[in-house]
Amino acid sequence: MTIETNGARSIVPADVALISAGRKPITQGFGLENLGVVIENNAIKTDEKGRTNVQGVWAAGDVNGKSMLAHTAYREAQVCIDDMAGKNSAVNYDAIPLVIYTHPEVACVGLTEEEAKRRGISVVTSKLPLSYNGRYCAENDGGRGICKAVIDKSTKNLVGLHMIGGNCSEMIFGAAAMIENKQTIDDINKIVFPHPTVSEIIKDTVMMAKF
């Protein structure tokens, strides 16, 4: 594998190479400058409804540089169409789940403890190992993992949930729905999860929070 550092190239032997180059919006070359659409950091500036500074021009997907994920683009496009049709709709970026498809998987939605503090939100957190869950233990011999909940101390709303282990990509949408609907720990306590499922770890972790 050839790598370049400060203009100097060298060859590094490797059996496997993981390339994570990232992406950036492409906003040049198709007439945006003629419309006067505001571009910031090479991305189209939009509000929570997908509107640009130019009336009648919306932008959805990677071009706005906000959350460069396919499922974010689906939601943004939906909100843009709703706004065009006069419906009240907005993207809640705090309720957009993120998944890293490694083994084990990593999935999260909402705020981290650090992000909450930066926003001036006082939070409590709770953690459980996935080995706390019977179904997970039965299907993952010796498997490890963790679930962490971030809860607003004043409102008792779930504001973040983070998981590592198993197929957590298949469960994180539940926490995303809780955050989207501003559910409190009391609301979540009323939700009946099927047993035995690994998804029960979400409720168990939330209910372990101490105030």
How far apart CA 37 and CA 18 sit, in angstroms, is 37
Q: Are 177 and 170 in contact (CB under 8 A)?
A: no
The one catalytic residue among 71, 103, 162, 195 = 195
- Cα 193 to Cα 202: distance, rounded to the nearest angstrom: 9
Q: Does 71 qualify as catalytic in the annotation?
A: no
For 140, the token pair is 């993952």
What would the pLDDT profile of 116-138 be if each residue is shown by its tens digit?
999 999 999 999 999 999 999 99
**Domains defined along the chain, listed by start:** 32-91 (no CATH), 94-207 (3.30.390.30)
Lowest mean pLDDT among 23-27, 152-156, 187-191, 202-206: 23-27
18 touches 100 (CB < 8 A): no
Phi-psi category of 31—alpha, beta or left, where left has phi over 0 and alpha has psi -120 to 50? left
Compute the distance between CA of residue 130 and CA of residue 147 in angstroms, rounded to an integer: 7
Question: Which of 29-38, 82-91, 202-211 bottoms out in mean pLDDT, i.e. has the lowest?
Answer: 29-38
The residue assigned the tokens 């983070």 is 162
Are the beta carbons of 28 and 66 closer than 8 angstroms? no
pTM of the shown model: 0.85
Q: What is the dihedral of CA 61, 96, 170, 87, to 10 degrees?
A: -80
Beta strands in the chain (DSSP E): 2-5, 8-11, 39-40, 43-44, 98-100, 106-110, 123-129, 146-152, 158-164
Looking at the DSSP bridge assignments, the partners of residue 106 are 100, 164
Q: What is the pLDDT of residues 64-89, one digit of tens each?
A: 999 999 999 999 999 999 999 999 99
Q: What is the pLDDT of residue 1?
A: 67
Has residue 54 got a pLDDT over 90?
yes
Question: Which pLDDT belongs to residue 3?
Answer: 75
Provide the pLDDT for residue 14.
84
The pLDDT of residue 211:
87
Alpha-carbon span 19 to 90, nearest angstrom = 34
Amino acid identity for residue 2 in this structure: T
Residue 22 has a pLDDT of 75
